Structure 1
Amino acid sequence: MNYFSSLLRGALGAGLLLGAAGARAGADPHWPVAAIPAALRENAHAVIRQQDDIITVKGAGRLVHTIHLVATVLDEQGERYGAAVVGYDKLHQISYLRGSVYDADGRLIRSLRAADTKDYSAHDGFSLFTDNRVRVSDLRQARYPYTAEFEYELVSTNTLAFPAWSPQEDEHVSVEHATLRVVTPPELPLRYREERLPAGSAVAQSQQGALRVYTWQFQLLPAVEREPYSPPLAELVPTVYTAPTAFEVQGYPGALTSWQQLGQWGFQLTQDRMTLTPETEARVKELVKGVDDPRARARKVYELLQSSTRYVSVQLGIGGYQPFPASTVASTGYGDCKALSNYCLALLKAAGVESYAAWISAGRQKAAVRTSFPNDQFNHVILCVPLQADTVWLECTSQTEAFGYLGSFTGNRHALLLTPQGGKLVRTPANAALDNRQYRRAEVQIDEQGHGRATVRTTSTGEQQDELAQIMHQLPADEQRKQAYQRLALPAVTIEQSSWQQNHRGAQPVVTERLTLALPSYASRTGRRLFLTPNLLNRLPPPAPRVGARQAPLQLATPFVDADTIRFRVPAGYKPEAVPAPVQLRTAFGSYEAQTQVLPDGTVQYTRRLQMPAGRFEAKEYEAYEDFRQRISKADRAQLVLVHPES
């Protein structure tokens, strides 16, 4: 998928891509800061004084989007609103970009000059070819507050990508007044979805000659601060989503009133692009010769894909949606998510295994797909392999991912299958808590001075190994060690030895980490006593202090199980004097148990198990969740006291 276009669509309605009106020197004051209502300055880094979006649909293949945005920047943390960052490409062209900046009293400082605007290639770091560019007009000031005013116009020939309108997309940004106006011919009626709109903000419909006009307006929206463990901000702020009934992208027309139609358009883009050369087909047939099980054949094809290709994005015009031919990937050895998925589909077809490309919204913090509002909500492509026993999902851009594993990047969300019959909205598999495990065993030797030395073996599976796997494959050894130090979060610890091993052959991918640690002053010494915390490496901090009543739902994103067994060898002559009491907790938010035991051989063994689900809970339940976390945090900090008898 075209990542740039996806980013652009979200930014168009949110102020990341700004626009501006000029001002005459000597004119009356504009937008004095003193005129901002006090409630809008509270907890805000910037205030959107006025944002006017006008979307004019010129036809099925052309729309014009103008934005006039005025934002007062109150401090350094809101300074991005002092610059206009306007993306464009082959399908989106900038007609003009103007701007002015005013001081706190509303007096014109200056208007935008040519020297204030730079044009850059919007290279994403992984695209081999891209026509994505960005124009940056910078009116930021060193002295706060100030007000920046921008206006720009963007002409688009990609009418599938209608903007979403969410003026309050950022935290700590309030809105004084904002309007959205959509003008469209009657034969191309607007489709829209309103979410979380303030009272009185619903659409007003009118006529402008023969054209239909849809208008929304917001005013006096206080700044929002996302609360801990809440859904993504995009699911909390007022938003109007817009979409066409018919569209066209670079000569490819489509209809959009159902998921079936959108998927049909996407499927048509792949036709005549799945043909392999006879040599490649023969290679696949030889690879799966004698393998009757379709799952085993699919695994062999996937491993061939991983060993012979690499991910390189190519984003040019319609190429944001359309893969280049499978034969091209075979000859070059590279492709983006669309091309590699299409190539793998062609390989599987040659192996006698059916599969479908699937559009998906990838990313750990992505908002859920609005299933009742068909439109392009996707930024990535993966592959679905429906088998008789189960369904296998393949991430075709990775050379290291386990066969059939999706994880936190694409798991547990909706995807749009592109089938010959059209689009079909389905859900990717969700991991259970036992799939996302972290099992740790450690041996710790404590000396009479309280210094410790530990050998630690940690086995992580599923989503608990996602970040570790990325570190292993993407960072050099010295950076891997730095990351290990950050995860340990222990003062004065030294990693003496470290190793990481990955196993992707099982039902869940596994990363095993082995560390040897020096722990100076791990136990504090007072007289003839040593005080230490048996929980070596897995202490859950308490939740952040809450100010006022909870507003947002509580969202627990990832189910998991953590299990720790730590055995301490104490200095000769020392005996446990005070041992933490066992703790057992059972709540709707998870279960926790911890126990410290003195074993017959004189060692002290600490065990801890925490299991938590994924789910969303009402805001009123957050207090009970806080209590659960506080009790865990207290138990995790409990101390063991060792004493040496007086001689």
Structure 2
Amino acid sequence: MNKIIKNIYICVVTFISLKICTMRNIAVLFVIFQSLTCLSQSSSSEIINRTSHFIFNSNGMVQIDTVLMQINDRNADTEIIIPYSKGDKISVDIVRLEDQDGNIIRKLKKNEIKDRSFISAVSLYEDDFVKYFDLKHDKFPYRIFYVSWIHYAKSLNIVDIDHARSKTPVHSSTLIVEVPIKDSIRYKYENVESPKTAVQNRFRKYIWKYGYIPPSSADIYRLDKDLKAPSIHIVPLHFKYGEAGSFESWKSFGNWIFRLNKNKDKLPAEECQRIDNLLRNTHSQKQKVEILYRYLQDYTRYINVSIKLGGLQTYPASYVCNNKYGDCKALTNYLQSMLKYAGIPSYYTLIEAGTKISELDVNFPSQAFNHVILTVPLEEDTVFLECTDKNIPFGYIGTFIQGRKALLVDENDSRLIPIPALQPDDVLCSRTIEVKTDIQQIHLSEVQKGHKYEFFNYAAKELGKDRVDNIIRSQIFSGKAELIDYELNSNNRQSPEISLTARFKAENIYKEYGKNIILSPFPMDFKDFETPDQRTTGVQINYPEFYQDTIIYEIPDKEIIKIPEKVFVETDFGKYEISFDLKNHTLVCYKTFLLYPGKYPIERYDEFFRFIQTMKNNELKNIHIEIL
């Protein structure tokens, strides 16, 4: 699964687990300054000086990079990775190791610069590669200097830089872009000064200079705009990439995608016969769509195949029929082709997938997507179908596509559409915990939805039992109780929830002091946020988080006469409630926590933190009751 997106620092494993396929890959020509260094740099390394020079014309584009970076300690990842695609011409002309004063320690030989597939372990076949080399030294700090040169035969985006997720300090960076005067470009930039421009030899030259020191720690749920990170995005107004296209509008770009993938919907005769058999005696359009979606899930598998036009042009439907696999583009096109044969219209839809919602600039058409889904308008509803996951229910809108804009591709009327946002009931995670003090056991029954459903559903279907056992032991009542047994049950793709029942052995569930009993709490598992004095950004909550607990403490032979007071807190950020009830010799604790989605500026972080801490403090409190 090749995952080249606009920030190379995003962890590849995260995207593999989300099953997001390549859209913005090397073949689509993006340029990321961070990709010129390591995949996982930290403050253990820093860019002293970097110049990236792009010369764009009708024959493609040349990129020349001159980089001087400093390695400060042995914790730095010193492997340098330069991505490219099949058909690109690439060379690394100068590589040397220097001391801090610029004295050359050694030069790298040509045979020490190697090639490999970008992520060969998870792709059947791919045309995306990296040049890589490593320069280690035992005296710190030291510096690495190199010059690389790439000629791209085709180009779509010219430059796509965003330092919002970068961890590497950049002291001085220069971006030079040269474009023929006759060619129009569009660009936007943030947290960078306006470019200097000049005209020379029928080219218009743009020069940006900037530096950036990222924060020392990454705030949880951070609001990226508060980082003031430099970003520069440049696209040609018109381009020739397989088909002539334009970034004049989202409509023109989507229409180009349609033309690029036109006539790839032909199905073999035997496949058409299978569809006829599957849909025989079915009259409801929605039922027909679901039957074909289940057929896709059951008889194909997801795998990245990135060839030629790679991230944007799909493989034909017949390819998936014959091979029973495909990437997100191919699987989506295959389902669309089956629906077309059945007389049901549907639309190939581009989306920027990920659990964190990236704001799509509606005023800047560009190749801003990394994934494809299928939109199916029906009389009673519009269904959005994720075609790469074999285990999710029909029409499930997961955390990785919800609540954002997407580009619906239509022949003559491509347009941005909103993908529905998850509502609180869609993500409700509920637990019933029975605490049996007489036999020192805890019986748990819980139903997970939302991101926890996605996690446990993946674990139940894709991971071995030993790994699932470790997850249950480490994530539930860790350090409080010993797991006896458990059962994890999905709903066989009928509904987006998964249930867990488990038994635990627990000692010291409660302590008795005269007429007082102290019961251990079972806190909701929620993240720890930075204190206001440590926080550097606002908060972005991408979807609601909703938890409900019912905890039943059975205390035989004790008559309870006093229970804790109710707590209720409601704010702009969410609400929290805990209350208690008596039923014979049983204390029942009811808890609810709802966190609203939203973006909250740093000026409101103090309020947000107080709300979260109120919840966490009450969750961690021991429960005090009085008995006769």
Fold conserved between structures, TM > 0.5: yes
Residue pair 1:256, 1:375 contacting (<8 A) in 2 also = yes
Identity %: 25
Q: Which amino acid aligns with 2:427?
A: N
Matched ranges for 1:249-268 at <5 A: 249=241, 251-268=242-259
Residue number in structure 1 paired with 2:294: 303
Residue number in structure 1 paired with 2:618: 635
Determine which of 473, 491, 495 is the counterpart of 1:485: 473
Q: 1:496-516: per-residue Cα shift (whole Å, max 9, x none)?
A: 11111112665x511111111
Determine which of 561, 565, 569 is the counterpart of 2:554: 569
Determine which of 83, 90, 93 is the counterpart of 2:86: 90
Work out the CA distance in 2 between the residues paired with 1:489 and 1:232.
34
**Structure 1 residue 495 corresponds to structure 2 residue 483:** yes
Q: Which amino acid aligns with 1:307?
A: D
Work out the CA distance in 1 between the residues paired with 2:89 and 2:404.
33
What is the DSSP-based 3-state SS (H/G/I as helix, E as strand, rest coil) of the residue aligned with 1:283? helix
Q: Which moved more, 1:103-112 or 1:184-193?
A: 103-112
Q: Which amino acid aligns with 1:211?
A: F
Alpha-carbon deviation of 1:479? 0.8
Residue number in structure 2 paired with 1:596: 580
Determine which of 61, 64, 71 is the counterpart of 1:63: 61
Determine which of 418, 421, 442 is the counterpart of 1:427: 418
* RMSD (CA atoms): 2.6
Residue number in structure 2 paired with 1:584: 568
Q: Describe the shift of the 1:411–1:14 C-alpha distance in structure 2 as closer, same or farther (beyond 3 A).
A: same
Q: Describe the shift of the 1:529–1:363 C-alpha distance in structure 2 as closer, same or farther (beyond 3 A).
A: same
Q: Describe the shift of the 1:537–1:124 C-alpha distance in structure 2 as closer, same or farther (beyond 3 A).
A: farther
Work out the CA distance in 1 between the residues paired with 2:387 and 2:162.
33
Work out the CA distance in 2 between the residues paired with 1:138 and 1:389.
58
**Structure 1 residue 511 corresponds to structure 2 residue 498:** yes
What is the DSSP-based 3-state SS (H/G/I as helix, E as strand, rest coil) of the residue aligned with 1:67? strand
Q: Describe the shift of the 1:93–1:577 C-alpha distance in structure 2 as closer, same or farther (beyond 3 A).
A: farther
**Structure 1 residue 557 corresponds to structure 2 residue 507:** no
Residue pair 2:376, 2:382 contacting (<8 A) in 1 also = yes
Q: Describe the shift of the 1:210–1:226 C-alpha distance in structure 2 as closer, same or farther (beyond 3 A).
A: same
**Structure 1 residue 15 corresponds to structure 2 residue 34:** yes
Work out the CA distance in 2 between the residues paired with 1:492 and 1:97.
59
Q: Which moved more, 1:478-487 or 1:520-529?
A: 520-529
Q: Describe the shift of the 1:14–1:627 C-alpha distance in structure 2 as closer, same or farther (beyond 3 A).
A: same
Work out the CA distance in 2 between the residues paired with 1:462 and 1:492.
26
Q: Which moved more, 1:150-159 or 1:220-229?
A: 220-229
Alpha-carbon deviation of 1:258? 1.5
Q: Which amino acid aligns with 1:637?
A: L
Residue number in structure 1 paired with 2:71: 73
Q: Which moved more, 1:624-633 or 1:107-116?
A: 107-116
Q: Describe the shift of the 1:477–1:370 C-alpha distance in structure 2 as closer, same or farther (beyond 3 A).
A: same
Q: 1:336-371: per-residue Cα shift (whole Å, max 9, x none)?
A: 111111110011112221101111112213522222
**Structure 1 residue 316 corresponds to structure 2 residue 307:** yes
Alpha-carbon deviation of 1:167? 5.6
Residue pair 1:51, 1:167 contacting (<8 A) in 2 also = no
Residue number in structure 2 paired with 1:416: 407
Gap regions ≥5 residues in structure 2: 5-21
Alpha-carbon deviation of 1:160? 0.9
Alpha-carbon deviation of 1:233? 7.5
Residue number in structure 2 paired with 1:470: 458
Q: Describe the shift of the 1:89–1:453 C-alpha distance in structure 2 as closer, same or farther (beyond 3 A).
A: same
Q: Describe the shift of the 1:280–1:628 C-alpha distance in structure 2 as closer, same or farther (beyond 3 A).
A: same
Q: Describe the shift of the 1:92–1:75 C-alpha distance in structure 2 as closer, same or farther (beyond 3 A).
A: same
Q: 1:504-542: per-residue Cα shift (whole Å, max 9, x none)?
A: 665x511111111112333356688653223x2515465
Q: Describe the shift of the 1:168–1:430 C-alpha distance in structure 2 as closer, same or farther (beyond 3 A).
A: closer
Matched ranges for 1:152-301 at <5 A: 152-166=148-162, 169-171=165-167, 173-197=168-192, 201-219=193-211, 221=213, 223=215, 225-232=217-224, 236-249=228-241, 251-301=242-292
Alpha-carbon deviation of 1:642? 5.8
Q: 1:24-49: per-residue Cα shift (whole Å, max 9, x none)?
A: xxxxxxxxxxxxxxxxxxx9433321
Alpha-carbon deviation of 1:289? 2.9
Q: Which amino acid aligns with 1:196?
A: N
Alpha-carbon deviation of 1:76? 4.2
Work out the CA distance in 2 between the residues paired with 1:423 and 1:157.
28
Residue number in structure 2 paired with 1:119: 115
Residue pair 2:73, 2:140 contacting (<8 A) in 1 also = yes
Residue pair 1:412, 1:429 contacting (<8 A) in 2 also = yes
Work out the CA distance in 2 between the residues paired with 1:2 and 1:422.
30
Residue pair 2:523, 2:620 contacting (<8 A) in 1 also = no
Residue number in structure 2 paired with 1:33: none
Residue pair 1:3, 1:320 contacting (<8 A) in 2 also = no
Alpha-carbon deviation of 1:7? 5.4
Q: Describe the shift of the 1:257–1:141 C-alpha distance in structure 2 as closer, same or farther (beyond 3 A).
A: farther
Aligned length: 606
Q: Which amino acid aligns with 1:189?
A: S
Residue number in structure 2 paired with 1:45: 44
What is the DSSP-based 3-state SS (H/G/I as helix, E as strand, rest coil) of the residue aligned with 1:254? strand
**Structure 1 residue 622 corresponds to structure 2 residue 590:** no
Work out the CA distance in 2 between the residues paired with 1:358 and 1:430.
17
Q: Which amino acid aligns with 1:160?
A: L
Matched ranges for 1:103-118 at <5 A: 103-114=99-110, 116-118=112-114
Residue pair 1:235, 1:367 contacting (<8 A) in 2 also = no
Gap regions ≥5 residues in structure 1: 20-42
Alpha-carbon deviation of 1:628? 0.6
Work out the CA distance in 2 between the residues paired with 1:142 and 1:524.
57
Q: Describe the shift of the 1:109–1:580 C-alpha distance in structure 2 as closer, same or farther (beyond 3 A).
A: farther
Work out the CA distance in 1 between the residues paired with 2:529 and 2:497.
29
Alpha-carbon deviation of 1:115? 5.2
Work out the CA distance in 2 between the residues paired with 1:643 and 1:131.
70
**Structure 1 residue 405 corresponds to structure 2 residue 396:** yes
Work out the CA distance in 2 between the residues paired with 1:2 and 1:322.
15
Q: Describe the shift of the 1:223–1:76 C-alpha distance in structure 2 as closer, same or farther (beyond 3 A).
A: farther
Residue pair 2:551, 2:588 contacting (<8 A) in 1 also = yes
Work out the CA distance in 1 between the residues paired with 2:586 and 2:566.
17
Q: Which moved more, 1:252-261 or 1:473-482?
A: 252-261
- Could you state the TM-score of these two structures normalised by the residue count of structure 2? 0.90
Q: Which amino acid aligns with 2:99?
A: D
Q: Describe the shift of the 1:220–1:625 C-alpha distance in structure 2 as closer, same or farther (beyond 3 A).
A: closer
Residue number in structure 2 paired with 1:32: none
Work out the CA distance in 2 between the residues paired with 1:336 and 1:150.
35
Q: Which amino acid aligns with 1:547?
A: D
**Structure 1 residue 365 corresponds to structure 2 residue 353:** no
Work out the CA distance in 2 between the residues paired with 1:66 and 1:419.
38
Work out the CA distance in 2 between the residues paired with 1:362 and 1:70.
34
Work out the CA distance in 2 between the residues paired with 1:14 and 1:488.
41
Residue pair 2:532, 2:609 contacting (<8 A) in 1 also = no
Residue number in structure 2 paired with 1:533: 520
Work out the CA distance in 2 between the residues paired with 1:500 and 1:632.
28
Alpha-carbon deviation of 1:97? 4.2
**Structure 1 residue 146 corresponds to structure 2 residue 142:** yes
Work out the CA distance in 1 between the residues paired with 2:270 and 2:290.
20
What is the DSSP-based 3-state SS (H/G/I as helix, E as strand, rest coil) of the residue aligned with 2:287? helix
